[in-house]
Structure formats: structure tokens, C-alpha cells
Amino acid sequence: MDRRTFVLALAAAPFCAHAQPKRTMKDIDALQKSWKTFLPAGASVPSPAEPLKLSKDEWKKRLPGESYKVLREEGTERAGTSPLNDEKRAGIYACAGCGLPVFTSEMKYESGTGWPSFFTTIPGVFDMKKDFYLIYPRSEYHCKRCGGHHGHVFDDGPPPTNQRWCNNGVALKFIPKDGSKA
């Protein structure tokens, strides 16, 4: 780091600290427990305990091409292409395959990667791919209800979880809390 970069870094530091609120594990626990408060009034959503199993043809009919490729064939969308990167409203991110709520807007953060990123999840909604011995640094996760591939989790997220759930935008469907159009 040269002198100029160092001075710039110092100048930027207070702003960055402000942009990322400091959370404790207790806050994360509260965020996970209160996820239903992010649903629009009267919304009914499925639970991980009601599995959705469809044939390949049925999935093809149900999902747009790009979502099918990611969810059912473990593809990855091009970075920076998802409109959900800029989604800032309060609400729920649900699986685009089966509607299972997987994240809330409060769990989202700007990772700078070009994919919607989250530092934790709604509890019990993902299965990790079994053939990894270690969960980190890179582990693939799937929707517990429909088995759809969503993304990978890394250990370079913000504290206190240090998790970065790097999710394909096309695997998600945003449900705004105020009931407006997604």
C-alpha cells in the first residue's frame, strides 16, 4: 500500500464502519427467529417438511430456461446480471423452484461479487452437498424442499457469522413485505 492509498483507506474507514452494522450472534439468532415478520400480511408459504418432487419435464415447464439451468443442472448465472443485486426493500427471498422462504432482506449484504449475498439463512432450509468433508471454504447448498441448487457458501462473510451465502439470483423469488409487485 503506498502512502496515498493508505490515506484514502483511512478516509473511507468511518464510512465503511457505518455501512456495516456490528451484530452479535444474539442478533443473528433473533433475525433467524423473526423471519416470518418479513412476510406480507396473510401470505401463506410452504415449509421444508412438504417436499416437492417433479419430473425433469415438469420442472422444464415450470421454470424459465435460466432458472432451470441453475436450479436443476447446478449452473451459475453471470455475475452482475441479477436485478436482485440492487433489491433493497424489506421482504422474503424464496426458492424460485418451490416457494420455500430461504432468506429475509435483513440477512442480505453487499458483497461486491455481483451475486445476491447473505450472511445467514432462515434456519433449516438448505441441505449441504454431502460429498464435501469440510463445510468451508466452498460448499454447495440445495433447497431442502425441492432439491434445487442455489449457490455456494464461503467463510469470508461479515462478522459475526463470517458466512457468505453466494446465491444465484435466478434461483430466488423476492416477496416484498408491503405486498407490492416483486
Binding site for Zn ion (CB under 5 A): 95, 97-98, 100, 143, 145-146, 148
Minimum gap (Å) between residue 26 Cβ and Zn ion? 29
Q: Which is nearer to Zn ion, 164 or 173 (CB)?
A: 173
- How far is Cα 170 from Cα 182, in angstroms, rounded to an integer? 13
Minimum gap (Å) between residue 19 Cβ and Zn ion? 31
Q: Would you call 166 a catalytic residue per the annotation?
A: yes
Q: Which is nearer to Zn ion, 73 or 110 (CB)?
A: 73
Minimum gap (Å) between residue 15 Cβ and Zn ion? 37
Q: State the catalytic residues.
A: 166
